[in-house]
Amino acid sequence: MAGVTDAAGGRRAGRIVRVNGPLVEVEGLEGLAILELVRLGPHGISGETISVTGTRAIVQAYEYTGGLACGDRVDGTGSPLAGLLGPGLLGGVFDGLLRPLSSESLWLTAERDEGVLSGGVAKTWNFSPTAALGNEVSPGDLLGVITGSGSLEHRVLVPSTTAGEITWVSGPAPLRLSDPVARVGEREVALGERWPIRRARPFRERTADVAPLHTGQRVLDLMFPLPLGAAAAVPGGFGTGKTLLLQQIAKWSSADVIVYVGCGERGNEMADVLAGLSELEDIRTGGRLIDRTVIIANTSNMPMMAREASVYTGLTVAEYFRDMGYDALVIADSTSRWAEALREFANRNGELPAEEGYPASLASNLAAFYERAGRVVTLGGRVGSVTVVGAVSPPGGDMTEPVTTDTERFVRSLWLLDPDLAYARHYPAVSWSGSFTRDLDAIAVWHGTNGNEAWASQRTRASVILSEADRLAALAEVIGTTSLPGHERVTILGGRLLREGVLRQNALSRNDGYCSTEKGIALLGLALAAVDTCHELIDRGVSAATIEQADYGLVLRAAEETASDDAAGVVGRQETLLRRLAELA
């Protein structure tokens, strides 16, 4: 079969010779590049070239391929799969290829429009220039700003491949995405920018400075903090609370921009995220949370291969905001579904499987994904970051399966969800024994320089008490609590105060869904003060049984009964608590 040339456009075309689900083999397209975007069949559905042999190529299709037949035409586009970036991203909901879902009909059939961000091509945005005619500009420099796109100032930058003198710049005007904002040398810079999703956007350098991302979830902020620009994974069996934890972080974290990638998960959850974020007020801007959020929805019943693309789309959007100097956070629920899409295609393509059917390239793919996280100095000299938090859904809750074990190697923090904690309705079910953070020391230094010198020592104490309490509780099950010495019984009590008074946090609670840094530190201080006093009481001869039966409601209900940022309210309880405990002697 020879290739045919489109008479009108002169575009290259070939023929389909094989269809097996999302795998399509084509022939006769000369000069087809790897990762080139192609259009398949009469509806021109999108696909990407995976491999080329002679005149034949394997294409991964991004839509349902039902009805595609051998002999149907296929067109090359000459460019890689790219997303259109620009104002209109914030507050929008997109599919895995960054096509807006808001303009799509109820049922997502294969006949899709090539939509253009929210509001469509005709929508205009108010541009105000900041660069002037004659300025010498280089990549990343500011050309102007857009207001009214989300709750952030949208910065229009010189693209990474452009530099020179500004020979024309638009005045303050309403512009469409396709309209030029300036001309740099000979080159016109449009408001919207197309960027190939699989290519990381360039930056000047990674910074070594560490600052934590505040998540608003105590068990994370106090025990397993995550630096801005780092990556974390949340592995856990079904129902252990991955999605709720991720949604809490999306709602309350200190990042400027949230990119929420629903990757092969539930439609009802996406509806829930959308509704939840639209209702909630953004404490920093006074606007709605949705206006600093980009949602990329590729639910489990949407085409599988778009799931594979969706995580890269999410990263690209986050990098775009990073380049403006913002802290962006990518949340991916769930990376296992993405890995399954990789496996599905590799299997259909006849690749030799490594473990559990996954291709041998799984680890390097995961590494490349998590490495797009980073806190950087941008081309324009701003500091911005992309932080990544990904859920992992191990089959059968088996933590030795390939996606979990490979992911553990590449992330800075692991927040392991423990099914026993979830079963006991202890949420977030983050295990204190199985989770880790690699950047503790650096974050301790940060807290030290930000007025919380005690953070590191308190964290260490809490972690020691928790693991001691677990060990002693196991021992007590065998020999009975009453056979343990007083100090050890206080440690068991201390473990309970920390678990129930500090680490536990009900996502649905008004006061406690979110917790400020100071309130978290105050709660930890309160629980530790109670433990110290109890040890003193033992030394003064008070019986362990008396201490155990005291009322610790002041600790246990402190989180729930004080407002999210009311650190003073928590500290205020300490005096009453210690006085009441002292009365036991």
Partner 1 sequence: MSSRSRTIAEGQDRAPSVAHADVRELRGPLLVVGGAEGVGWDEFAEIDSPDGAVRHGLVLEVRGDLATLQVLEPTDGLALGGLEVRFGGQPLHIPVGRGWLGRACNGRGAPLDSGPPVGGSLVRPINGWPLNPIHREPPQEPVVTGISAVDALMTVVKGQKLPIFSVPGLAHLDLATQIAAQATASGSSFLVVFAAMGMTHADIAFVRDRLEERSSASELVLFLNAADDPVIERILTPRIALTVAEHLAYEEGVDVLVIMSDMTSYAEAVREVAAARGEIPARRGYPGYLYSDLASIYERCGRVRGREGSVTIMPVLTMPAGDITHPVPDLTGYITEGQIVLSADVAARGIYPPVDVLSSLSRLMRSGVGEGRTRKDHLHVSAQALSALARARQTAELAELVGTAAMSETDQSYLAYREMLEKELLNQGRSEARKINDTLNRVWRALGSLPRRELNMIPQALVEQYLPEEGELP
The encoded tokens of residue 348 equal 């259909």
Site for partner 1 in 419-448 (CB under 8 A): 423-425
Q: At its nearest, how many Å lie between ligand ATP and the CB of residue 134?
A: 55
Query: 244, 280, 473, 538: which one contacts ligand ATP (CB under 6 A)?
Result: 244
Q: At its nearest, how many Å lie between ligand ATP and the CB of residue 519?
A: 17
Question: Which letter does DSSP use for residue 80 in this model?
Answer: E
Collapsing DSSP states into helix, strand and coil, what is residue 121? coil
Collapsing DSSP states into helix, strand and coil, what is residue 57? strand
Q: Of 101 and 189, which CB lies nearer to partner 1 in the complex structure?
A: 101
Site for ligand ATP in 478-537 (CB under 6 A): 506-508
The residues pairing with 186 across neighbouring beta strands, listed in sequence order, are none
Q: Which range of residues in 99-107, 278-286, 311-319, 522-530 is near partner 1 by CB under 8 A? A: 99-107
Query: 154, 251, 343, 504: which one contacts partner 1 (CB under 8 A)?
Result: 343
From Mg ion, partner 1, ligand ATP, none, interface partner of 68 (C-beta below 5 to 8 A by class): partner 1
Rounded Cα–Cα distance for residues 514 and 503 (Å):
12
From Mg ion, partner 1, ligand ATP, none, interface partner of 241 (C-beta below 5 to 8 A by class): ligand ATP
Q: Which residue is nearest to Mg ion (CB)?
A: 243
The residues pairing with 259 across neighbouring beta strands, listed in sequence order, are 294, 330
Cα 516 to chain centroid distance, Å, stands at 20
From Mg ion, partner 1, ligand ATP, none, interface partner of 236 (C-beta below 5 to 8 A by class): ligand ATP
- Total binding residues toward ligand ATP, as defined by CB under 6 A: 14
Q: Show Cβ contacts of residue 129 under 8 Å, excluding neighbours closer than 6 positions.
A: 143, 144, 169, 170, 171, 172, 181, 182
Site for Mg ion in 497-536 (CB under 5 A): none
Rounded Cα–Cα distance for residues 199 and 256 (Å):
23
> CA-based Rg of the chain, rounded to a whole angstrom?
27
Q: Of 139 and 236, which CB lies nearer to ligand ATP in the complex structure?
A: 236
Cα distances (Å, whole numbers) of residue 30 to 9, 12, 14, 72: 16, 7, 8, 16
Does 264 sit near ligand ATP (CB under 6 A)? no
From Mg ion, partner 1, ligand ATP, none, interface partner of 423 (C-beta below 5 to 8 A by class): partner 1
Q: Show Cβ contacts of residue 503 under 8 Å, excluding neighbours closer than 6 positions.
A: 218, 219, 222, 223, 426, 428, 430, 432
- Total binding residues toward Mg ion, as defined by CB under 5 A: 2
Q: Which range of residues in 68-76, 371-379, 404-412, 487-495 is near partner 1 by CB under 8 A? A: 68-76
Site for partner 1 in 457-496 (CB under 8 A): none
Q: Of 99 and 519, which CB lies nearer to partner 1 in the complex structure?
A: 99
Closest CA to 276 of 315, 242, 244, 234: 244
From partner 1, Mg ion, ligand ATP, none, interface partner of 141 (C-beta below 5 to 8 A by class): none
72 burial level (CB within 10 Å; 0-12, 13-18, 19+) = middle
Does 243 sit near Mg ion (CB under 5 A)? yes
Q: Which range of residues in 80-88, 165-173, 295-303, 528-536 is near partner 1 by CB under 8 A? A: 295-303
Does 120 sit near partner 1 (CB under 8 A)? no
Rounded Cα–Cα distance for residues 520 and 517 (Å):
5
Q: At its nearest, how many Å lie between Mg ion and the CB of residue 240?
A: 9
Q: Of 100 and 262, which CB lies nearer to Mg ion in the complex structure?
A: 262
Q: At its nearest, how many Å lie between partner 1 and the CB of residue 425?
A: 8
Q: At its nearest, how many Å lie between Mg ion and the CB of residue 281?
A: 25
Rounded Cα–Cα distance for residues 537 and 561 (Å):
27
Rounded Cα–Cα distance for residues 103 and 207 (Å):
40
Query: 65, 118, 160, 240: which one contacts ligand ATP (CB under 6 A)?
Result: 240
Cα distances (Å, whole numbers) of residue 67 to 24, 39, 61, 89: 12, 14, 13, 33
- DSSP code string of 137-173: E-TT-EEEEEESSTTSPEEEE--TT--EEEEEE--SE
> Omega into 160 within 30° of 0, i.e. cis?
no
Q: Of 25 and 141, which CB lies nearer to partner 1 in the complex structure?
A: 25
Site for Mg ion in 213-242 (CB under 5 A): 242
Q: At its nearest, how many Å lie between partner 1 and the CB of residue 157?
A: 30
Does 109 sit near partner 1 (CB under 8 A)? yes
Site for ligand ATP in 378-397 (CB under 6 A): 393
Site for ligand ATP in 426-445 (CB under 6 A): 427-428
Q: Which range of residues in 82-90, 225-233, 236-244, 460-468 is near ligand ATP by CB under 6 A? A: 236-244
Beta carbons within 10 angstroms of residue 473's beta carbon? 15
CA angle 371/260/273 to nearest 5° reads: 160
Closest CA to 141 of 324, 270, 357: 324
Reported as type and span, the H/E element at residue 370 is helix 362-371
Phi, psi of 537 (to 5 degrees): -60, -40
Does 234 sit near partner 1 (CB under 8 A)? no
Query: 165, 209, 398, 539: which one contacts partner 1 (CB under 8 A)?
Result: 398
Which positions lie near Mg ion, rule CB under 5 A? 242-243
Which positions lie near partner 1, rule CB under 8 A? 17-21, 25, 64-71, 93, 101-102, 104-109, 237-239, 262, 264, 266-268, 270-272, 274-275, 297, 299-304, 337, 340, 343-344, 347, 353, 356-357, 393, 395-398, 423-425, 508
Which positions lie near ligand ATP, rule CB under 6 A? 236, 238-244, 393, 427-428, 506-508
